[in-house]
Chain A
Amino acid sequence: MVGAFETSGAVADPTQAMRLLWLVPVLPLAGAAINLFIGRRLGKAAGWLATVLVGTAFVIAAIAVRDLIAVPAEARVYVLHLFDWIQVGAFRVNVDLRLDALSATMILVVTGIGALIHLYAIGYMDGDPRFGRFFAYLNLFVFFMLMLVLGNNLLVLYLGWEGVGLCSYLLIGFWFEKTENANAAKKAFVTTRVGDTAMLVGLALIVAKFGTLDYDVIFGSAGSTLTKGVATAIALLLFAGAVGKSAQVPLHVWLPDAMAGPTPVSALIHAATMVTAGVYLVVRMHPIFELSGIALVVVAVTGLVTSIYAGTCALGQDDIKRVLAYSTISQLGFMFLAAGLRAYAAAMFFLVAHAFYKALLFLGAGSVMHGTHETTDLKLMGGLWRRMPITATTFVIGAFALAGVPPLAGFFAKDVVLEIAETGEHWVAYVLGTFAALLSALYIGRVVFLAFFGAPRSERAEQAHEAPPVMWVPLAVLAFGAAFGGIVSTDADGRLAQLLESVVGGVPEAIGGLTTPLFFVIALGMTALGLGTAWFVYGSGRVDWLALRVRLAPLQRLFANGWYIDEYYATVLVAPGKAAAAFTAYRFDVGFVDGIVNGIGGVVRRLADVGRRLQTGFVRSYAAAFFVGVVAVLVYVGFRL
């Protein structure tokens, strides 16, 4: 019960906003409950209600964070105790909310961008028969995501983790009448479940070692309680969960298919928030990762491999949303690379910047789809710049942010990561990371030039129209954030890094090697090269890109099909799984289990068939049986004597 609030942690004098921190997750929860029950009667007001609630949560969060920053850095932790949850012997878990720099960053992103996406969805989902339920699910998602990042122990985090997985399933399969949408939802849930199970094992291991799941206890005694091996095991298990949730190789296969859901869902869940939960987890649990050096290497390598793999796949997609999906996977890989190199602040900054521009890009794609009568195929677009100028402008801003054009946020994000790769003398990581950055510029440039420039290549593109204000206002706000977010951090001494220092420690300083201006030039060069090539091939009209595509068909198909990993899983995992299920259902259950049950019945029946022949109806038979008994009794008595 939300009653007596106990506070612990270092904030000596919590302000009113901090004490009202519980409202931040509870408001969306209330919205979900209301919309779930009377959403249909509210009609369009359901959407406004949901948006206002998330917006209010953002305001409260913002004030609380402002108050938090006012506190000196050493004391920037505030824990709000809500209620006791589990108490079994010595094992206690409470539902506590923790406000520190890391969770502050996350809740601002979740509520802020969440509110904008809610606003956009009012326009996008207009006319849908299940309008109210959509917003109930969206609010529920925001609630779970907030619990995930605000929890003060791993169990509340896991609660939120599973909850966002559930909402993701519900929202991807929102238009479940189409089988492929339902299948995509199933695929997402099952794939992330693989990671979640490993994570649960990791939690169990933590309980076994520490006896509790509280952050303070774990981080306080991690050094003394864990050996390197156990720390590695825990870290890798938790990372497995992150791999699933953040769609890294090899558990990435669900994200491209998840584009079957409505575009606001893709923007909120699969770009800005849920998929970043994995990054949050790694950054939050970094003391354990650092105790085991090798886990960080695994994280970095996974991130790097994923980044390049997804970048190539993005090049081969024709569906605008799938390009963005693979792009998300690739960018998340970058964040994990940063985390693996111990540049946690850089990873978080990248997360924030990515949230802005990726949400922007997705919403822009949604606007394009809305305006061109649900076209998603890039081959059928073109020349949309004239017909939907606001969408085009904001989209281009987002694209430039992704490509790393200064002074937009993306540039600084990438730059920091690459710099840190170099300073740690991880040359391979630097080179490969730079290549990944080049790929990202390439594929987003392709999208921009194919969709918005040139001549329209289909009737739908010709008759495209702009989106209503309720949709382009969020686009504009996000574009603003994407453009000017760079002021939050410029380098290791940036504001975000300073803010996060209380949580993640300092960012590794640049030492020796190439100097900063050189990085600047190399990064800029990559961006220019990528965008320039894209313009040359797709925008300038000098290259027949359709013929090029035909010539490079095998390569294009490889990229388009995600290097055939889905097909590989289908043969190696899915087919045996289905065979096992069929065996269990038909051979084992029907044959064996039912066979036993029916067999017992059959045996009883046969025994009865035999047994009933005793009832011959002949009195004399009964008399004979009678007499047999008499003689037997006499024999028995006789022998006894």
Chain B
Amino acid sequence: MPLDNVVFWVFAPISVASAIGMLLMRNAVHAALFLVVNLFTIAVMFLLLDAPFLFAVQIIVYAGAIMVLFLFVIMLLGVDRGDPTNEPLVGQRSIAVILAVGFVLEVTFALRAGIGFATKAPPGFDRVNLGGNTQALAKVLFRDYFFPFEVTSVLLIVAAVAAMVLAQRRAKAITQAEIEAHRDDFAHIRDAPAGGLEGGPHLDPEALR
């Protein structure tokens, strides 16, 4: 059996399982760790698809930086304990599952109609990866997509500044209890009776003698 098949069929189930695991965990930290596993498996998929540079970047940036950042915030805010198990919205879970299943089915059918399940990747990727994937990628990036590259740099700076501004300590905290207390401040408008104005012009039967 070819190697890439084996790798694929090993890591794909792990990927799905870890995603579902992230979905089901009550504890936020556990969920984050499952997501890390998932990111790893995706990185392996990248490798299978002849993108070694991105395999590395995925692990470094996503699994290494972004998820660590997530874990930091979870720990900082202390919200690692339970998501309540009840579902206040009626039918939300059913809709979510139905839609997800429907989406997967759609994708499958679209693929079958489009490229078909038998299509293998064309062999000539070496030609594209001339001089190695990193060098080829660098060529494309700094030549054809130079402007987006610069714009993205600016974007990163903006994001950093924004984060600093947003995270400043400013407003006084308000508790959920206070929010609940003011919930009915506009009840007289919200709960106005359905009848509308009082009647119409009042006609007096006596006046029509």
Q: Which residues of A contact B (CB under 8 A)?
A: 578, 581-582, 585-586, 590, 594, 598, 601-602, 605-606, 609, 616, 618, 620-621, 624, 627-628, 630-631, 634-635, 638, 641
Q: Which residues of B contact A (CB under 8 A)?
A: 88-89, 92, 95-96, 99, 102-103, 106, 109-110, 113-114, 194, 196, 200, 203, 205, 208
Whether A621 lies near B113 (C-beta < 8 A) is: no
Top 9 A-B pairs, shortest CB-CB distance: A634-B106, A638-B110, A594-B200, A631-B99, A624-B95, A627-B99, A631-B102, A605-B194, A638-B106
Whether A598 lies near B200 (C-beta < 8 A) is: yes
- Give the CA-CA distance A631 to B109 in the complex, in Å: 13
Q: Contacts A585-B208, A631-B103; is A590 near B200 (CB within 8 Å)?
A: yes
- Give the CA-CA distance A641 to B114 in the complex, in Å: 9
Whether B194 lies near A641 (C-beta < 8 A) is: no
Whether B196 lies near A581 (C-beta < 8 A) is: no
Residues of B contacting A605 in the complex (Cβ-Cβ under 8 angstroms): 194, 196
- Give the CA-CA distance A179 to B148 in the complex, in Å: 92
Whether B89 lies near A590 (C-beta < 8 A) is: no
Name 13 A/B residue pairs within 8 A (Cβ), A-sorted: A586-B203, A594-B200, A605-B196, A609-B194, A620-B89, A621-B89, A627-B96, A630-B103, A631-B106, A638-B106, A638-B109, A641-B113, A641-B114
Classify the secondary structure of A's interface with B.
helix
Whether B203 lies near A602 (C-beta < 8 A) is: no
Whether B200 lies near A624 (C-beta < 8 A) is: no
Tell me the number of A-to-B contacts counted with CB atoms below 8 Å.
Answer: 52
Residues of A contacting B99 in the complex (Cβ-Cβ under 8 angstroms): 624, 627-628, 631
Residues of A contacting B113 in the complex (Cβ-Cβ under 8 angstroms): 638, 641
Whether A582 lies near B196 (C-beta < 8 A) is: no
- Give the CA-CA distance A212 to B95 in the complex, in Å: 80
* Nearest CB in chain A: distance from B13 CB, A: 25
Q: Contacts A620-B92, A621-B89, A634-B106; is A582 near B205 (CB within 8 Å)?
A: yes
Whether A634 lies near B103 (C-beta < 8 A) is: yes
- Give the CA-CA distance A381 to B89 in the complex, in Å: 97
* Nearest CB in chain B: distance from A505 CB, A: 52
- Give the CA-CA distance A578 to B207 in the complex, in Å: 12
B202 nearest CB neighbor, chain A only: A590
* Nearest CB in chain A: distance from B172 CB, A: 23
Whether A582 lies near B208 (C-beta < 8 A) is: yes
- Give the CA-CA distance A590 to B208 in the complex, in Å: 14
Residues of A contacting B102 in the complex (Cβ-Cβ under 8 angstroms): 631, 635
Residues of B contacting A630 in the complex (Cβ-Cβ under 8 angstroms): 103
Residues of B contacting A598 in the complex (Cβ-Cβ under 8 angstroms): 196, 200
- Give the CA-CA distance A630 to B110 in the complex, in Å: 15
Q: Contacts A590-B203, A594-B200, A605-B196; is A581 near B95 (CB within 8 Å)?
A: no
- Give the CA-CA distance A609 to B200 in the complex, in Å: 22
A582 nearest CB neighbor, chain B only: B208
Q: Contacts A585-B208, A606-B194; is A641 near B110 (CB within 8 Å)?
A: yes
